[in-house]
Amino acid sequence: MSFDQTCKTIVADAGVNIPEIDCKTVLDAMEAGEPMPIIIDIRPEVERIEEGLIPGALHIPTGILACAVDEICESDADLDRPVLCQCRSGKRSLTGTQILKQSGFRCALSLRGGIKEWQALGGPVEMPRG
């Protein structure tokens, strides 16, 4: 197998065994007043500025996610809380979720469809102040 084929296989398999949740499920839970997961927006700053942020989400870009575990949890008990990783379309969040799982989070999920799907379903978004 060539290097190029190996890379394509790795990328194609990125979503395997990574738990995902769809935007509608999260929005329905939010509307019902259920406790929300910790939401981590892993997009670069420029995307957050252009597209906004899910209210209450932490903005921790992928590149520093593994180093930011202390920002996400204060104790070992927090490792059991649901943590939702979110990007623009739901692809990069698979990688972010993998990083969270490897960092010890037992209930890390990827938001399928990302902020694009979230907005398409009418989910709230906060725009940064200029």
How high is the mean pLDDT in each 10-residue block of the chain (130 residues)? 59 71 95 93 94 94 89 84 95 93 92 97 88
Determine whether 87 is an active site residue: yes
Q: Alpha carbon of 51 to those of 44, 75, 116: distances in Å? A: 11, 32, 9
Give the pTM: 0.84
Q: Per the structure block, which two tokens stand in for 121? A: 């379903």
**Which one of the listed residues 7, 73, 85, 87 is annotated catalytic?**
87
Looking at residue 64, its amino acid is I
- Predicted confidence at residue 65, as pLDDT, reads 92
Q: Which residues pair with 41 in a beta bridge?
A: 59, 86
